[in-house]
Amino acid sequence: MESNAELPLLTSKDIAHFTGDVEDIPPITGANDFFVQFGVESKKLWYLAAPAIFTSTCQYSLGAITQTFAGHVGTLDLAAFSIENSFIAAWNGERIGDAMLDMQRSWIILFVTGLIMMFLYIFATPFLLFIGQTEAISHAAGKMALWMIPQLFAYAANFPIAKFLQAQSKIMVMSYISGVALVLHTFFSWLLMLKLGWGLLGGAVVLNLSWWFIVVAQKVYIFSGTCGQAWSGFSWAAFNNLWGFVKLSFASAIMLCLETWYFMALVLFAGYLKNAEIAVDALSICYQEQTIQEPQNSQWCKAVYALTPLLAACLIINNIQPALSGVAIGAGWQATIAYINIACYYIFGVPLGLTLGFALNWGVKGIWIGMLTGTVVQTIILIWICVRTNWDKEASMAEERIRTWSGQKGVEVEQ
């Protein structure tokens, strides 16, 4: 594939311009210069970020809407979907590339990973029973997991496509597709789950179809030639340097999964408390930032109200921590961050949360406080690492990795 290093990554006549050879901003000598450059950079960032935020919100809302309707079906249904969506589905690790060959390599890796992880879905019921979940929740969540196997492979297909389109600055088309999917998903979820009385089965059918609609629509867009030279068809070159890509992918998957499993484990731990269904439901409602105003579910409202301050703290921290994780991935620090996550999350945060939640009888609030403290510690460490990093050297190393994966010859970078 021809090098696109000197082609504009993103151009706009009215809003922002991104090119590979633009010099850095001039030195800032005063407050006025600062605010001028801040406005310029903010405009560029929002041009990229706004559609991406909308896309992520729409795709995240697919599960949230299904979970909300599950709450109207029954407490057990909501708890079962929460366990499947928050714990079992969270085991689906991800690592995605940023170009055509990387997208194809990612498909290979993620589909093979999906085949392996599928066994967790198949044997979800005995697994949940083995780790001590209640029998009712285990059987209901296990049945839901079987129904959601198609979504597992939709994830494997979608994540590389999304990164490919982002790299080609095709952000708006992702927003349009996700927006249409969300509207259709909401209507058909209501129709099948509530109106026709299909319950969780209806939710699973609609959720699977919604994700595959996104995947197919995006693939049609790419294969139709709208990405120009960026997509020239499938290539055997995707298997070149595959092992190196797998090693970095594995490190990324471990890093991301350690982060994802950490707070998903909070839902799992809640299943061991008294009134497990209410505890799991309250946490799930907080995660989706929803309230279900039903008189017969007043226990949910009380539990959610008690957890609201922690939810607010999580929202503040989660505005910082994901950005730092993105920096870590871009800099190739996956292995280092994985060790930091293990220490902060599982050696410090989880024991503290379990001590507060069970030993001191603070319940869900105690578990959440302890685990949130682990996230704060991890965030502080990542900030310290970023401040002390030589970013010129990191940029050179990243460029060399891109050249290697794309089959180009580059100057060897001093490690």
pLDDT in tens, 146-188: 999 999 999 988 988 888 888 788 889 999 999 999 999 999 9
Alpha carbon distance 186, 61 (integer Å): 9
Residue 93 — very low, low, confident or very high, per pLDDT cuts 50/70/90? Answer: very low
pLDDT in tens, 349-394: 999 999 998 889 888 888 889 989 999 999 999 999 999 988 888 7
Are the beta carbons of 165 and 218 closer than 8 angstroms? Answer: yes
Alpha carbon distance 282, 299 (integer Å): 9
Q: Give the residue-averaged pLDDT of 105-109.
A: 79
Q: Which residue has the tokens 């299909």?
A: 198
Q: Give the residue-averaged pLDDT of 123-140.
A: 86
What confidence score (pLDDT) does residue 55 get?
93
Alpha carbon distance 82, 291 (integer Å): 15
- Give whichever of 114-128, 182-196, 232-246 has the largest mean pLDDT: 182-196
pLDDT in tens, 6-30: 343 444 344 444 444 456 677 778 8
Specify which residues 18 forms β-bridges with: 10
Alpha carbon distance 401, 415 (integer Å): 12
Q: Which sign, positive or negative, has the C-alpha torsion 130, 135, 139, 141?
A: negative
Average model confidence (pLDDT) across the chain: 78
pLDDT in tens, 234-260: 766 666 777 767 776 777 777 777 777
| 99 has pLDDT over 60 | no
Q: Greater confidence, 337 or 261?
A: 337
SS (H, E, C) the chain: CCCCCCCCCEECCCCCEECCCCCCCCCCCCHHHHHHHHHHHHHHHHHHHHHHHHHHHHHHHHHHHHHHHHHHHCHHHHHHHHHHHHHHHHHCCCCCCCCHHHHHHHHHHHHHHHHHHHHHHHCHHHHHHHCCCCHHHHHHHHHHHHHCHHHHHHHHHHHHHHHHHHHCCCHHHHHHHHHHHHHHHHHHHHHHHHHCCCCHHHHHHHHHHHHHHHHHHHHHHHHHHHCHHHCCCCCHHHHCCHHHHHHHHHHHHHHHHHHHHHHHHHHHHHCCCCCHHHHHHHHHHHHHCCCCCCHHHHHHHHHHHHHHHHHHHHHHHCCCHHHHHHHHHHHCCHHHHHHHHHHHHHHHHHHHHHHHHHHCCCHHHHHHHHHHHHHHHHHHHHHHHHHCCCHHHHHHHHHHHHHHHCCCCCCCCCC
Q: Which of 225-239, 254-268, 401-415 has the lowest mean pLDDT?
A: 401-415
